């Protein structure tokens, strides 16, 4: 029975570390895109069309990242 307790403890610890890592990665991703969005917000575009162009660039970057992750 001792090895079952050890295995359970190991699995709980592994799951805890995994969940922590997933949260850290999610925070990192959100921070990255927030920085990009903050840059966009700080811009002083001359009209809606230039703002739309910058938003399109950001959207394209996000899509490229999604495709890169899917390939990996």
pLDDT digits (tens, 9 = 90+) for 2-51: 677 888 999 999 999 999 999 999 999 999 999 988 988 888 878 889 88
Domain containing 59 equals 2-71
Which carries the bigger pLDDT value, residue 45 or residue 58?
Answer: 58
Instruction: Say which residues have a Cβ less than 8 Å from residue 45's Cβ, sequence separation at least 6.
Output: 51, 54
Confidence of residue 1 (pLDDT cuts 50, 70, 90): low
The pLDDT of residue 47: 85
The pTM of this model reads: 0.66
> What is the tally of structural domains in the chain?
1
CA distance 23 to 16: 11
For residue 4, CA distances in Å to 1, 10, 14, 22, 43 come to 5, 10, 15, 27, 59
Tokens matching residue 20: 């922590």
């Amino acid at each position: 029975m001792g090895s079952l307790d050890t295995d359970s403890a190991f699995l709980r610890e592994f799951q805890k570390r995994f969940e922590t890592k997933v949260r850290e990665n999610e925070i990192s991703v959100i921070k990255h895109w927030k920085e990009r969005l903050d840059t966009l917000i700080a811009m002083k575009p001359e009209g809606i069309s230039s703002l739309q162009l910058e938003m399109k660039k950001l959207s394209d970057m996000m899509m490229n990242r999604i495709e890169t992750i899917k390939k990996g």
